[in-house]
Amino acid sequence: MTVTPTAIPDVLVIEPKVFSDGRGWFFESFNERDFSDAVGRQITFVQDNHSFSKKDVLRGLHYQTRQTQGKLVSVYRGVVFDVAVDLRQSSKTYGQSVGIELTSDNKKKLWVPEGFAHGFLVLSDEAEFLYKTTDYWDPGSEQCIAWNDSALNIQWPKIDGVPIMNIKDLQGLSWSRAPKFD
């Protein structure tokens, strides 16, 4: 596997080594030892999530203030633009974001550590998205930051029309009002 830091060094792009031949392909989708070595600490995942979304669906920017979740995310089918926003006030990259295209073809994963908000926009007709999380979902502490807050200046890909979102995401907090981490 190849591990590449992003503009926010704690957010990592992970690319598996893919073995291809005339029959198809094979790759190791997760190896705990190699992953923990890559991030520099032991990581335990407690929950796997799988979502399906249609084109132009935008989910996020989500995070939890308790039971904070690190997320290892990937695309099983389709194409998404995936975003992580640093909410750690003590970080040199506080308030910054990174975005990367994840596809079923490129097989890349993105490591989004605890202390980040996360969201994605579906660019293909349909997408299935996988999340491995380091803590359980805690609906009582879930937060959402407005995806288009001008203070964040996230460079989302252009789409026809407006993103399709649920009520919770449409009512996302402004950056200035959103709870942050020390």
Q: Annotated active-site positions, please?
A: 62, 131
Helix (H, G, I), strand (E, B) or coil at 28: coil
Tokens representing residue 42 in the block: 């032991």
Q: What angle do CA 51, 54, 58 make, to 5 degrees?
A: 75
Task: Outline where DSSP puts E strands in the chain.
Answer: 2-5, 12-15, 18-21, 24-27, 47-54, 58-64, 71-77, 79-86, 97-103, 109-112, 116-122, 126-133, 142-144
